[in-house]
Structure 1
């Protein structure tokens, strides 16, 4: 009977079960879908904000001179895109998650989405002036993401429960679905809206504040405290890398849970930065994308520096260029790194090394904290992303320091693996020579 490697087999079995549970969870998947739908607007808004708040005073003066406008005026015009996109980020997330979850639960997507919007508006604080009531855009932005997630899930589940019970206005079979569907949704939507209306009344009576404040205090603050802490992000990154090691897309699973937290922290930094203040959230989406992921790239650089085997020399040609844009699949599958026991330690810990170095640099104020203004795509090359996300050359230098550190971590392991491959190649060559000699 074949003896199993107890540690790795047990670990793979446990992580496999966890990943199946997480990847198969429709609520996590719906949140992930919603955040993925939100991300393009974060990038688009960043383009305009980078131009508006480019961290070079000479550039600001140049634009002011050619436009004839004061900096605050033309910057405000560019910031309109942010107000129209991330400024209603919570509402965008609500719409996306509601539709995704409705599709997964096989209920009326259009009506569930609209019902969620009504429920959301019921819980968002209203203001009033001489012209009437209004909702401030500050209550529609990223700070409402946690509230949006809860409302989306509750709305979909209550709607599904009423719908599955058959409690609906049933139209004759001859009535087209486009006409009957809205009528059938009246009762489920009524129940949902009534529940949220009662909740609003209770909050008004006993709290005098808002549902947003309550949800952000009860749910948002603990999540941010855990997800925005150094131990929290290290645990998450190790878990993600463990999944990757066994061939499971770790980032896809982890991001469904962590992206809402990182985005709220990112938005808080952006708001402070645009107001001329100094952001305080070290951990945010930009930290995760631009500093927390510097790890695996060290493997291919180490191979480029010291590898002598034919296999690894070929890998230099295949994996080197893609990693300029942080595309790591050629490295993961080509070396391979996954399921390779020799590389287990650097595979799991190299990103942690980068996180620790970056966090220390930010905490010691050696590098400005990520401004939140520039949320660059994950494919943005290192050095460039470091400068854009921090607004400082120090951010680029920090990335270089992290890169050097992870390469040093990878070097001894690459040396061991390369020597093993060299021995295999020599044995293969010897066998081929012997076979050729026999044939001769």
Structure 2
């Protein structure tokens, strides 16, 4: 095991660190974080509409408020992400981030058809703006921003004389880079249209996004994703942050598709969504470390340092915060905990998948705060409806399963202390 850890530290960690710090991936991650307030607002609206406002007839008149909040948040998620990702990327290059974000939004609209079905000219269907458009939106945001940044860096700008207010100077400096970016996507739309395609969105959705989302709904790919997050963490790299762009691109559309279906009174089409992992797998944080803390309280009799870290980390673990365990125990680069830390999320993903796919628990469709405690998060993520208590119970069952996975390894670590004490006494 030590030889394996040493090999991974030499070969895997440097590559993973570069991936985690890659400028475009960081911009995507920060872009999603920036719209979290609106995602939570839209999800709260869905919960209220389908629970409290539906259960109490006197509150039924407030349902339109929830519909409008959803329309102003989840229904336009791609549009929001295009701006925030472009803004974050441009900011990392130290150019005018606001102008870049505006140009990216305009560029995205330049790729969309100006009519939909039998609707007349000037109609933009909401499918282009909700989470199903994320792949296309992210691609356009990154390319438009790169065009904008490169032209600004090469000083291909309109220069204003001294004495002009800074805001005016920045606006004119963005004219040529901004026009170049948006015309690029206007030309691209014409080419796709002449070749028989409807839009860039349709081409990407049919050839890339739809196959990838179908693959992501497989239990094997979900288990791999959950375990890969922990593999990064095992070497001191923030696995959740590194894989966030990929997880959001694959599983946020699934969450939004479920939410849209529930909104229309239909069955949710997806088993695995972004909050599926927060509800059933990341119990106490990546690796279900709340279970590790409980296992320490049960099985660590000799390892006083484990118990002290567990005591300090338990209150944080209740709210899914686990850095103190990761680096205080530590879990990072700990050969004794490497195996349970990696296999636990895979096992929990399998259990949660089977329970959801079989209909034992309702599918997740509500974005929840990642700090939601075990059970409560699953209850809210499934809409707090009549079947949500089973989702909460599933989260608790998964926590118990994780405790049993960790417990033998904690006891083994405890015995090592006893053996060392016996050896030193001789």
TM normalised by structure 1 equals 0.87
Alpha-carbon separation, structure 1, partners of 2:327 and 2:268: 39
* Aligned partners of 1:319 and 1:328 also within 8 Å: yes
Equivalent residues in 2 for 1:18-97 (5 A)? 18-54=15-51, 59-60=52-53, 62-64=55-57, 66-67=58-59, 71=60, 73-97=61-85
Contact 1:312 1:418 in 2 (8 A): no
Residue of 264, 274, 280 corresponding to 2:253:
264
Q: Which of 337-346 and 296-305 deviates more?
A: 296-305
1:331-346 aligned at under 5 Å gives the runs: 331-346=325-340
Deviation, 1:203, is 2.8
Which of residues 287, 297, 301 in structure 1 aligns to 2:294? Answer: 301
- Tell whether the 8 Å contact from 2:226 to 2:349 is kept in structure 1 after alignment: no
Counterpart contact for 1:158–1:188, Cα < 8 Å = yes
Greater mean deviation of Cα atoms: 32-41 or 136-145: 136-145
> Does 1:212 find its partner at 2:201?
yes
In structure 2, do the counterparts of structure 1 residues 80 and 345 end up closer, same or farther at CA, with 3 Å as the change threshold?
A: same
Asked whether the equivalents of residues 107 and 185 of structure 2 are also in contact (C-alpha less than 8 Å), the reply is yes
Cα distance in 2, alignment partners of residues 108 and 319 from structure 1: 42
Aligned partner of residue 56 in structure 2, secondary structure: helix
1:388 aligns with 2:387: no
Equivalent of 1:189 in 161, 165, 178: 178
Cα distance, 1:226 vs. partner? 3.6
Rounded to whole Å, the distance in 2 between the matches of 1:271 and 1:29 is 28
Query: How many angstroms does 1:405 deviate by?
Result: 1.4
Q: Structure 1 pair 421/63, CA: closer, same or farther in 2 (3 Å)?
A: same
Q: Structure 1 pair 227/12, CA: closer, same or farther in 2 (3 Å)?
A: farther
Structure 1 unaligned residues grouped into runs of 5+: 432-440
Query: After superposition, what is the alpha-carbon deviation per residue over 1:11-69, rounded to whole angstroms, capped at 9, x for unaligned?
Result: 11222122222122111111111111122211122222211112xxxx556521x34xx
- Relative to 1, partners in 2 of residues 1:165 and 1:297: Cα closer, same or farther, differing over 3 Å? same
The offset of 1:153, in angstroms, is 0.9
| Counterpart in the other structure of 1:156 | 145
**Contact persistence 1:145–1:264 (CA under 8 A):** yes
Q: Shift of residue 316 of structure 1?
A: 4.2
- Indicate the SS of the match to 1:321: helix
Contact 1:296–1:350 (CA<8 Å) still a contact in 2?
A: no
Deviates more, 1:347-356 or 1:154-163: 154-163
Q: Which sits farther off after the overlay, 392-401 or 26-35? A: 392-401
Unaligned 5+ segments in structure 2 are none
Q: How does 1:408-419 map to 2 (within 5 A)?
A: 408-419=404-415
- How far apart are the structure 2 equivalents of 1:225 and 1:130? 30
- What displacement does 1:77 show? 2.3
- Residue pair 1:119, 1:196 contacting (<8 A) in 2 also: yes
Mapped to 2, the partners of 1:332 and 1:171 lie a distance apart of 53
Closer, same or farther: CA 61–226 of 1 in aligned 2, 3 Å: closer
> How far, CA to CA, are the matches of 1:286 and 1:106 in structure 2?
33
2:234 to 245, 253, 256: 245
Q: Distance in 1 between matches of 2:246 and 2:55?
A: 43
2: CA distance, partners of 1:299 / 1:242: 16
Kept after mapping to 1: 8 A contact 2:86/2:97? yes
Aligned pairs, number:
416
Which consecutive segments of 4 or more residues in structure 1 shift more than 6 A?
128-132, 425-428
- SS of the residue corresponding to residue 413 of structure 1 reads helix
* Paired position in structure 1 for 2:12: 15
Determine the structure 2 residue equivalent to 1:140.
129
Cα distance change of structure 1 residues 422 and 315 upon mapping to structure 2, 3 Å threshold: farther
In the TM superposition, residue 132 of structure 1 has moved relative to its aligned partner by 6.6
C-alpha contact 1:32 1:257 (8 A) present in aligned 2 = no
Task: State the Cα distance separating 1:174 from its structure 2 match.
Answer: 4.8
CA RMSD of aligned residues (A): 2.5
Q: Is the 8 A contact 1:159 1:188 kept in 2?
A: yes
What is the DSSP-based 3-state SS (H/G/I as helix, E as strand, rest coil) of the residue aligned with 1:369?
Answer: coil
Find the counterpart in structure 2 of residue 118 from structure 1. Answer: 106
Q: What SS does the aligned partner of 2:417 have?
A: helix
Task: Give the counterpart of 2:321 among 322, 327, 336.
Answer: 327
Assess if the C-alpha contact under 8 Å between 2:78 and 2:131 holds in 1.
Answer: yes
- Which protein has the larger Cα radius of gyration, Structure 1 or Structure 2? 1
SS in 1 for 2:35: helix
2:332 is aligned with 1:351: no
Contact 1:98 1:116 in 2 (8 A): yes
